[in-house]
Amino acid sequence: MAKKKVSMEKIWGNPRYAGKHVIIIAGKVFAAKTGKEASRLFDKLVRKYPSKTPTLTYIPKAESLILFMLCL
């Protein structure tokens, strides 16, 4: 049976993760509501999967305003 590939595009498009910190590691997705919770989860997952490289991001809610500042 083929395993589904987890990608950031799928995560960003899923409203389930809106407003959460998301960690992808070893083909699995983990979510945390707060930064403190995400930090603890990150440490736990790095110990559990030492040979894997995690990807960590925050998925903003749809109504969030994201400011971008460009310094030249």
Q: What is the pLDDT of residues 43-54, one digit of tens each?
A: 999 999 999 999
pLDDT digits (tens, 9 = 90+) for 5-61: 788 888 888 899 999 999 999 999 999 999 999 999 999 999 999 999 999 999 988
Pairwise CA distance, residues 70 & 3, whole Å: 40
Closest C-alpha among 32, 35, 28, 20 to residue 55: 28
In a domain, 65, yes or no: no
Strands 55-59 and 20-25: antiparallel
Residue 34: give the domain boundaries. Answer: 8-59
Specify if 1 maps to a domain: no
The answer to whether position 50 is within a domain reads yes
Domain assignment of residue 43, yes or no: yes
Q: Is residue 66 part of a domain?
A: no
Residue 71, domain member (yes or no): no
Domain assignment present for residue 36? The answer is yes
What pTM value is reported for the model? 0.78
Tell me if 27 is assigned to some domain: yes
The number of distinct structural domains making up the chain is 1
